[in-house]
Amino acid sequence: MINNRLFLVSALCAALGIHAAQGHHAAGAVFTNEEIEIEGVVTEFNFVNPHVNILLSVTDETGAETEWMVTGPAAPPMRRWGWTADTLRPGQLIRFVGKSSRTGAPMLLIESADIQSGRFAELDLADGSIIRRLQEAPDDSQAPDAGTRVTLTLDDGRPNLSGMWLGGLGRTPQPPPPFNAAGAELQAGFDSLNDPAFSECADHGLIRQATSGHPMRIAQYDDRVIFEYEQGAATRIIHLDGREPASAEHSDYGHHVARYEGDALVIETTQLTERLTGVRGNALSDRTTVTETYRRVDTPELGPLLAMTLVANDPGYLTAPWEMTWRKNYAATDYEFIKSDCALPLAPIG
């Protein structure tokens, strides 16, 4: 087997005018803008959330072997681009191009443009020649289906929000928070390397989970609504009986009061802990209150759609309400959640 290589290609890319698209990780925050290429033998391929990751054994020119982690987007968009749990298997020699870790860890970030363009390749173990390009046929099973029909209301007149709701419409760009001086100062000191979701595989919490663009399932009952999220494998049970909080303690998902208002489900949440709300930081304080509104917004072109508006009020770090939205399309075909198995980042070499 040939020696596997590790070398810089950033100069070549600059000369050719190639610019990598920004990925799920906040731009250049956890990974640099320096592009490198590695070749290694697959030891593990984990087609999971929150990020697909591949472990490679990379041999340098001296014969020394190092374990590398190639990390990519979450599994749902990878599935839309045609990848499955069978796309790679242990023992294959693969060439990847991506961004290097800021910490010097043997990690590589691969991004959507390269994943879909065929820049990655499986190589022959004997002579290093290209066996195939890792460019899969897109899977349109998550795309909106204008021919699907789902009733707008349940038998009792409540809005029909039940079912599997996908991310086939893409992620909605969210506006930045209207920070006050305290919030802006905190945000200025944010470093994605210290994001617990990245560094510790911590739970995302209410705002980060509710605003995720990934698939979710809703089940409606007389006394509760259950939200199941593919991202993070989280479940929220939303009671409709107006119950009082069991204690004054704050938590990652807080205390909610929920009700139906006309064609919408409205959830109001208090007693939230101070925490980051996304990959870009945007921390909110423990004085935050959140209102989520869910309603159907079907269109003839896209079929059944679910819309969510989340408004966060925080007198601690914001000067005004912060509003975020998304729309998700209905799963016209069977859809199974991809499991979550968060991998901690590798340590720097040396």
Q: How far apart are CA 309 and CA 315, in angstroms?
A: 20
Give the pLDDT confidence score for residue 321 in this predicted structure: 98
Angle (CA) 87 197 116, round 5°: 30
Tokens of 282: 């945007």
Distance CA 341, CA 53 (A): 10
CATH 2.40.50.140 residue ranges of the chain are: 6-133
Q: How confident is the model at residue 2, as a pLDDT?
A: 34
Identity of the amino acid at 120: F
pTM for this structure?
0.88
> pLDDT band at residue 141, thresholds of 50, 70 and 90?
confident
Amino acid at the residue 174? Q
| pLDDT above 50 (res 3) | no
Q: What is the mean pLDDT of residues 27-46?
A: 88
**Gap between the Cα atoms of 117 and 112, Å rounded:** 8
Is 50 exceeded by the pLDDT of residue 28?
no
* pLDDT tens figures, 90-107: 999 999 999 999 999 999
Residue linked to tokens 């290097």: 100
Share of the chain above pLDDT 90, in %: 84
10 has pLDDT over 90: no
Instruction: State yes or no: pLDDT of 25 exceeds 70.
Output: no
Residue 93: strand, helix, or coil: strand
Select from 91, 36, 30 the least CA-distant residue to 60.
36
* pLDDT score recorded for residue 97: 97
Q: Read off the amino acid at residue 165.
A: W
Q: Among the ranges 135-139, 158-162, 333-337, which has the highest mean pLDDT value?
A: 158-162
- What residues does 282 pair with on adjacent strands? none
pLDDT at 82 over 70: yes
Task: Name the CATH superfamily for 6-133.
Answer: Nucleic acid-binding proteins (2.40.50.140)
Band (pLDDT 50/70/90 cuts) for residue 26 is: very low
pLDDT confidence bin for 192, thresholds 50/70/90: very high
Residue 219 pLDDT > 90, yes or no? yes
- HSE, side-chain direction, 13 A CA sphere, residue 146: 4
Q: Does 343 or 19 have the greater pLDDT score? A: 343
